[in-house]
Amino acid sequence: MKIILMLAGVLLGIALGLATRIDKPRPRWWQTVVLLLLALTLVLAIVPPIAGSFADVVMMDRAYKGRAIPVKIHYAEPASSVYDENTRQYLVRMQDFSPRRNTVTVRISRPELALFDERDVVVAMVRRGASDTEYEMLEVLYTNPLLTLPYIPGLEERARNLFLHVPMSWTAVIAFCMSMIYALRYLRTKDMRYDVFSAATAEVGLLFTVLATTTGMVWATFDWGTPWNWDPRQTSIFLLLLIYGAYFALRSSIDQPEKRASLGAVYAILSFVTVPFLMFVMPRLMQGLHPGSAGSGSAGPVLSQQADSFDPVKQVIFSLSLAAFIALYFWLLSLLVRFRLVDRSVQIRLQELA
Amino acid sequence: MEFLSNNALYVVLIIALMVFGGVGIILVSLERRLSKLQAKVEREFSEKG
C-alpha cells in the first residue's frame, strides 16, 4: 500500500509536469494547480498535531524516565471514571489509536477531565505511571483534531521535515534521470534543443540536491549533534554534488557548442550511472546514522515495510508532497529551458547579423 | 521540541506561507515575463525571416 501511494505521488507529479510541453508557457490552470498543491502540502506538513500511542510512551519512558509525549486517545468504556481520593484524580479507562487499540487506565485531574466528554477524541500529553497499564494525563492539547501525524520516536516534531527532505532528494534523482534521457536523445538526434534540456534539468537537479542536503543538515543538527558528520549518506550526496559540479565546469570550459553538447551528453549519461549507487546502494551497504543504513534494523519511516509504520495520513501527505515537488521541478525546468532557448535564438540571430 | 503545540504553530505557519507566497509570486511573475519575451522573439524573428 505504501509503495502504491508513493508511486501514485510520483506519477501524479510527472503527469502534471509533462501535461504541457517543457518549452511552452505553462497555462494559468497549471500554475494554479501546482501552487495549490504546494500550499496544501505545506499546511498539511505543519498543521496536524503529532500524536503517538501508549507503546510510544513506554518506549520514551525507557529512554528518558518520566518523559511525557502527545498521545491520541478516547474513552474505552463510557462513564468508566473512578475517583481516587488519595491523589484527587480520576481513573479513566482510555484507548489509543494504535493497530492493537491498547486500553489502559489513565489518571486525569478534574480540570483536564472537564475539557472533553465521552465521545471526544483528544491529543493529550501523557506519561507512564507505575506500570505499563497505568498512565497519567498532564495536559489536553487538542480535542477532536481533524488529522494527526504519527509520533516517530527520536524525531517527534521534527518528523514534519519528512515531507520536505525526502521528496526533495527523490525529485533530484528524477531530475538527473531526465538529464540522462535528454542527453541520450541529443546523441541520437543531434538536436541542440535536447542539449539545452539536459543541462537545464541537471541544474534544477543540483538545486534540489542542495535543498535536500540543507534540510537533511537541519535534521542532523538536532538528531546527530552537528550539521555535518560525514555519514555515508552525507558523503554520497557530497560526491554527487561534486560530480554534477564537474559537469558544469566541463560545459563552461568548451566554447564550441556541438563539442560541448556531445561531451556534456556523454558526461551526463555517465554521471547518472553513479546516482542509484550513491543514493540507494552505498548508504545502505555501510553503517551510518541515517535511517536505512546497514545494521540500523529499519529502512526508515518512509520505506519501512513494518505493519505499524504505515499511517494513511502520513503516507497521503508524503505522496502529495512528492507530486508537488516534482511538479515544481518541471516548472523550474520549463522556465530555465525557455530562457536558454530565447537566449540561444538571440545569440544565433546576432551572429547572423554580424 | 513541543513548540508546535502552542501558539508558535501559527508563527511557523505564517512564516512558511509568506516564504512560499514569495516563491509563488516570483514563479508566476517569471512565467508571465518569459511568455511575453518568448512570444516577442518568435514573432520578430519570423517577421524578419
* Secondary structure, 3-state, chain A: CHHHHHHHHHHHHHHHHCCCCCCCCCCHHHHHHHHHHHHHHHHHHHCCCEEECHHHHHHHHHHCCCCCEEEEEEECCCCCCEEECCCCEEEEEEEECCCCCCEEEEEECHHHHCCCCCCCEEEEEEEECCCCCEEEEEEEEEECCCCCEECCCCCHHHHHHHHHHHHHHHHHHHHHHHHHHHHHHHHHHCCHHHHHHHHHHHHHHHHHHHHHHHHHHHHHHHHCCCCCCCCHHHHHHHHHHHHHHHHHHHHHCCCCHHHHHHHHHHHHHHHHHHHHHHHHHHHHHCCCCCCCCCCCCCCHHHHCCCHHHCCHHHHHHHHHHHHHHHHHHHHHHHHHHHHHHHHHHHHHHHHHHC
pLDDT recorded at residue A300: 65
Tens of pLDDT, residue by residue over B11-45, are 777 788 888 888 889 999 999 999 999 888 888 87
pLDDT greater than 90 at residue B46: no
Contact list in B for residue A49 (CB cut-off 8 A) is 4-5
Q: Do B27 and A31 touch (CB under 8 A)?
A: yes
Of B4, B17, B35, the CB nearest to A42: B17
Of A42, A70, A345, the CB nearest to B16: A42
Contact list in B for residue A222 (CB cut-off 8 A) is 1
A345 to chain B: nearest residue by CA? Answer: B41
Tens of pLDDT, residue by residue over A142-178, are 999 999 999 988 788 888 888 999 999 999 999 999 9
HSE toward the beta carbon, residue A72, CA cutoff 13 A: 18
Q: Do B41 and A339 touch (CB under 8 A)?
A: no
ipTM above 0.95, yes or no: no
Of B27, B30, B45, the CB nearest to A349: B45
A36 to chain B: nearest residue by CA? Answer: B24
pLDDT recorded at residue B3: 45
Tens of pLDDT, residue by residue over A23-36, are 999 999 999 999 99
The low-confidence residues of chain A, meaning pLDDT below 50, are none
pLDDT recorded at residue A79: 66
